[in-house]
Structure 1
């Protein structure tokens, strides 16, 4: 009975294979994009990621059930080790993602379970492509035509959505850590203080406050050079910091409004983007209208920023993820276009 039910739900073999590739690509795209998504309105992106991930789990079940006979001794070929590795990485990526959503909080070395999930997901993309190349069989029209195929995929997606919803209900009923997580998957940080995390290799020497200056230049009418003493740090703001390491915290910040600093420099009519630079070379660009609402913070929780938290100045960017809250700010640049080199800077900042 169970076997016949599975057979009714299982799409044709070639369609399963190509569907796995499609799901992996969707997971990679939504996963990468979600790293920069922190606004509440962006929750559908995370929901799609979860539903497609659960659908991928079912497709992998069908795939592994079909190829199980090939794994017997004597039936391996040159591509089998790659296939096995791909399956292991795929299942590990799915398992760590589900575990994180359910509230499992286990660190693996220096990485959280969420970091491991992200790493495995990125590794899975090239592995699936290589596997498909080794086992390439083009999809045919007969593989996806017919009402039955549409019903099968509808059932898979609806089933994935129901399981995702069930995960939330389980967390709520059981009172697990997962219940308190944001839609991004980040868990709350309790107690005083919050973790010190930085982008990859960004670990500069402590900044000499006497020598430090904040430059405001680019498309401005009057470039500025400000010292710590000339910053009017009376603006206060409570903001939620959501780190892609998998935690979030709500803190009271004090400093100077970025909009105030920009107005003091005078904004050129051609300016559309604001790039915030760190002493490490790391930087990130924001639309001008949004950036005006940011804060250049000198204090958090009533205390001066520590070096690890970006002393003497860090960006507070509500609705943005933690890696966009630039630390050790040294320059504000107004531009006509987004600074495309910021993506290269994420790879080399702190190293060069």
Structure 2
């Protein structure tokens, strides 16, 4: 297609410049929000969060194409550069990095860049894009005008973008199935399977700075206290694994595994300490300070695992004791548990602790 004809096509289909800019800003915000929310979704009923994230991502591709085509001369002509141009270029790099790594991951490419999977790199680009986009917007702020958002043609164009994005996703999934790429056996979360049984079957991952030294089982003990009539401390030798559960662990770094976990049913533990009637939540605390809280009825069905696939849990997988919480994402399966607290309220501060635990 000739350059003149391409310009004619773009002129006919592209929305107003301000509409493109503000749509990108809103969609990036929604992408970050839905991406972070997706970290907490482990049950199939949460699939709309992931579907929205993917469709919005494809829509951003089209809008970004309009944006880059419009400003191409300003970027390519170094004589027209201003101090704010560097921020604009960095913003474009972060956006293209987030989009490209996301699409490669969805297409089935499973490679590691140093310590990180492509999905982790995708998240990193996405988080970096937020402050860069705000900085870019502050240097070229143009408030939206009502006229830019009005008109039947504008509505039709945006509806067409969304429908086209959904169609592209369907075609991509069909291609994965036909070509038998690594994207054809994903969960709805996008995670890829890790086969086998036991410690060696799935990767060792740590959340942020959680990386304690191996735990001396002879010196370790599990404390169970809080709103209980009979708090206890259990040494490792006193633990009697009597519960087994086949459960799916879905890690936010992009993989999942189905394993048979054995250990202590939390419900049995709560009966042993006689949890009080007004208890509503159970908090599981790691030796690193990391913690997560479950509603008490959900916690009763969870397991504090000592073994996986018939093997004693390795240190990297949370030994001597790890929470197994079916339906939750991997970062909520607390490793190296040494304290269980029965509470009468949730623990919103756990979100902050996930970012600072493990730091001295």
TM-score (norm 2): 0.95
Q: What is aligned with 1:112?
A: 117
Partner of 1:307: 315
The within-5 A match list for 1:265-280 is 265-280=273-288
Q: 1:73 and 1:167 mapped to 2: Cα distance? A: 38
**Cα drift, residue 116 of structure 1:** 0.3
Distance (whole Å) between structure 1 residues aligned to residue 219 and residue 30 of structure 2: 48
Shift of 1:343: 2.1
**In the alignment, which residue of structure 2 is the partner of 1:216?**
224
Residue 39 of structure 1, aligned match among 40, 43, 52? 43
Deviations 1:62-113 (A, max 9, x none): 0011111212131111211110110111011100000000001121111111
**Are residues 1:160 and 2:165 paired?**
yes
Matched with 1:149 is 154
User: Residue 202 in 1 paired to residue 210 in 2?
Assistant: yes
Match of 2:19 among 15, 18, 41: 15
- Please give the residue correspondences for 1:64-75 in structure 2 after superposition, counting only pairs within 5 Å: 64-71=68-75, 72-75=77-80
User: Which residue does 1:331 correspond to in 2?
Assistant: 339
Take 2:349 and 2:144, find their aligned partners in 1: how far apart are those partners?
39
Cα separation, 2, equivalents of 1:333 and 1:97: 39
Q: For structure 2, which runs of at least 5 residues remain unmatched after alignment?
A: none
SS at match of 1:165: helix
Find the counterpart in structure 2 of residue 260 from structure 1. 268
- For 1:5 and 1:337, how far apart are their aligned partners in 2? 58
Distance 1:2 1:347 in 2: 48
Deviations 1:154-202 (CA, angstroms, capped at 9, x unpaired)? 1111111111111111100100011011111111113452111111221
Scaled by the length of structure 1, the TM-score of the pair is 0.97
CA drift of 1:2 comes to 5.3
SS, match of residue 248 in structure 1: strand
How far, CA to CA, are the matches of 1:325 and 1:126 in structure 2?
31
Query: What value does the CA root-mean-square deviation take over the aligned residues?
Result: 1.3
After superposition, the C-alpha distances for 1:301-352 in whole angstroms (9 at most, x for unaligned) are 1111111111111000111111111111111111222222222222221222
Deviation at 1:4, TM superposition (A): 4.3
SS in 2 for 1:239: strand
Q: Tell me the distance in 2 between the aligned counterparts of 1:4 and 1:219.
A: 71
Instruction: Quote how far apart the aligned CAs of 1:6 are.
Output: 3.4
Secondary structure in 2 matching 1:237: strand
CA distance in structure 1 between the partners assigned to 2:296 and 2:12 by the alignment? 54
Which of 284, 291, 295 is the matching residue for 1:287? Answer: 295
- Stretches (4+) displaced over 6 A: none
